[in-house]
Amino acid sequence: MFRYLKTIQALCTFYKSYCFLSVLITFFCVRTFWLYGFASFAGIFWLKILTLGIIFFFVNQLKKKEYYYYRNLGIGKTLLWTATLLFDFVLFVVLLILTNQYS
């Protein structure tokens, strides 16, 4: 149990490195969806995918040496990126669903 908590804490620490930009883009997309409805869905969906790719590229370049820290904790680069990008994308989808229900 303690190991899982440490892993989640490390994933949160990694996510903090690009959280602000990612959440800002998510809220921009949700606001656009709120204003224009399903007509904007394809555009904001691909915008989110594209920006996740750009974030992946830049953070990967800027944080190369930090991967050793996470590797020493037993967390591979693949797990770091899969978990954080999946969390970010699920947050995006849930917010779109909630926006659609309440608009």
Instruction: List the structure tokens of 32.
Output: 């656009």
pTM: 0.89
Q: What is the pLDDT of residue 2?
A: 81
Cα 97 from Cα 36, distance rounded (Å)? 14
Q: Which of 46, 37, 53 has its CA nearest to residue 101? A: 37
Show the CA angle centred on residue 69, arms to residues 66 and 72, nearest 5°: 145
Question: Are the beta carbons of 88 and 22 closer than 8 angstroms?
Answer: yes
Structure confidence by residue, pLDDT tens digits, 35-93: 999 999 999 999 999 999 999 999 999 988 999 999 999 999 999 999 999 999 999 99
pLDDT at 12 over 80: yes
Cα 100 from Cα 92, distance rounded (Å)? 12
Q: What is the pLDDT of residue 102?
A: 87
Domain extents in the chain: 15-102
Q: Please enumerate in sequence order all residues whose Cβ is within 8 A of that of 96, keeping only pairs 6 or more positions apart, or say none.
A: 29, 30, 33, 41
